[in-house]
Structure 1
């Protein structure tokens, strides 16, 4: 059965009868979880099993587990993880300790996620923060200069993939200059191409071999006046050509106010523009039906990219959790 080119959420901590039936029939490529879906490790493990049972295959299950203020699995069942800025602070003091700390942090996150059945993480953030920008990125960023973001993001990706969790770099081609939060309005970035290629685009270009990337809902005036997510020219020119990213490209959440129109319209627009996968997170069944109406089967090059992303979750390196936690806590002691 063909898969719907979509990642969908669900309403609560347990799969409802209506959701199970819908997922069986729509067959979305993958799922994404939020705080509303999380109660305990045992509950979350059962939920992941039920989601995969609904589609009859080992579908990827995503979450946003960056650390800091973006962490869906929280205390008391899961440890709190540092912000991107905290890792950057360690790296500022010692390059190798910073890289080791963020590797271990993300290896521990991967261990947490795999233990409950989650196999993809919407991290790391590669956005370059700018003074005067909206604080939506701020301390989520892995530093305030491009080379630092590159080395820390590479180590974070290695930690996740060693643990059998597929990473998603975000928000391509860069959200750090946005002066409004794209959850609320559409940012417009007017910076010159020359400066963008030296700064914001560079982390994404240096990590263009990542298996997956998430778009920024922002206008780049060097291309056109459409949001990147629904702009064929921006996706082709900025992401596929200038940055050179050829992995699986997913939209950011289609519910965000940066995009206008119905969910059916936005889904079709994102896929027509060149996104491989439409991401829709509300968990509302009527919303998901609209996405299915605007969607299409996952096939061709998009299917190949999806299969590559899935393959990154098939092996898990040996891991001593107790030793890793002790080393991680020592490395991060000055920043936590």
Structure 2
């Protein structure tokens, strides 16, 4: 039975009867967890198992935002606190190696509780004067540094059996406001964007998944944010950047977007998005988004299958205590 091109959240640490029935009926392709969903390791394992049971797919993607620093849904006391991406940029010659090791450790934590997709690496390149929503989440202030460390993070995640999602394509680094609260408008022209913002995404265009930016690029499409812009998706994401993986929206409930939730989803799919993401677990909103979401078919279905295929046989063995000790020592030396 076909899945719907949709990733949904839930309200708490376990599913309500209403949520379970809704998920069985709608059959989303995947799910996403937030801090509100995270209890003990056993509770998270039970939740991921119950989510997959509603759609009858053992490989159903379950996502989380586990970057480190400010954006870490699983943390103490049950899991380590990981550094923000910007910390690696200050490690000089060991930056990429330690970023890969940190991501490999995070992948271990995630895989142990049934999570198989991490919304990382962040490939946005911040500029002076931009909003600090990216800030220390960035792996540096040059496209080359961001691409190098971002590649290492992606490789570390995949080595641990977790799919990476590069974000926020084609770039959130110039945004003057937080797209959770308003709609950023970036005035840089195509040449400036191509010379900086697009470069890390182009360098990692072979990755399996990417998350769109709720940002208007007025030099490309002055009317619509990238998530809902056929121009940006066709000409830039699929064209200039050359990304042919699964393209998902950022959260449709963010205030950068306006209008009814069904219309938000429909506009994204009309623009060429493969899969819609809705995160907050509010049932009325989820129902409306689902009404505007097609079944996963054609090229989006091919890309979704190709992404999941990347997990096959990808998990490497490693010495967990030694890796944790080596990572802690590196962080201590760089402090």
What TM-score do you get using the length of structure 1 for normalisation?
A: 0.97
Match of 2:303 in 1: 305
Taking the TM superposition and a 5 Å limit, the aligned residue runs for 1:283-294 are 283-294=281-292
1:248 pairs with one of 246, 256, 260: 246
Measure the CA separation in 1 of the matches of 2:114 and 2:324: 21
Match of 2:25 in 1: 25
Aligned 8 A contact 1:165 1:312 in 2:
no
> Post-superposition shift, 1:314?
2.6
1:265 pairs with one of 263, 266, 281: 263
Aligned 8 A contact 1:168 1:211 in 2:
yes
Aligned 8 A contact 1:124 1:169 in 2:
yes
Taking the TM superposition and a 5 Å limit, the aligned residue runs for 1:131-280 are 131-225=128-222, 226-280=224-278
Unaligned runs of 5+ in 1: none
Measure the CA separation in 2 of the matches of 1:312 and 1:67: 24
Aligned 8 A contact 1:62 1:119 in 2:
yes
Match of 2:83 in 1: 82
Measure the CA separation in 1 of the matches of 2:104 and 2:193: 31
2:118 pairs with one of 96, 102, 121: 121
What TM-score do you get using the length of structure 2 for normalisation?
A: 0.98
> Post-superposition shift, 1:335?
3.8
1:131-178 CA deviation, whole Å, 9 max, x = no partner?
A: 110110000000111111111011100000000100000000000000
Give the SS at the match of 2:46. Answer: helix
Unaligned runs of 5+ in 2: none
- Return structure 1 stretches of 4+ with deviation > 3 angstroms: none
Measure the CA separation in 1 of the matches of 2:228 and 2:316: 38
Task: Please tell me whether residue 317 in structure 1 is matched to residue 316 in structure 2.
Answer: yes
> Post-superposition shift, 1:224?
1.4
Structure 1 range deviating more: 314-323 or 195-204: 314-323
> Post-superposition shift, 1:242?
0.8
Aligned 8 A contact 1:232 1:273 in 2:
yes
Aligned 8 A contact 1:87 1:101 in 2:
yes
Measure the CA separation in 2 of the matches of 1:107 and 1:155: 10
Give the SS at the match of 1:170. Answer: strand
1:79-100 CA deviation, whole Å, 9 max, x = no partner?
A: 000111101111xx32xx1111
Measure the CA separation in 2 of the matches of 1:144 and 1:12: 37
Match of 2:326 in 1: 327
Measure the CA separation in 2 of the matches of 1:174 and 1:334: 32
> Post-superposition shift, 1:203?
0.3
Count the aligned residue pairs. Answer: 332
Measure the CA separation in 2 of the matches of 1:274 and 1:170: 17
Give the SS at the match of 1:32. Answer: strand
Give the SS at the match of 1:179. Answer: coil
Give the SS at the match of 1:168. Answer: strand
Measure the CA separation in 1 of the matches of 2:36 and 2:257: 24
RMSD, matched Cα:
0.8
Measure the CA separation in 2 of the matches of 1:294 and 1:213: 21
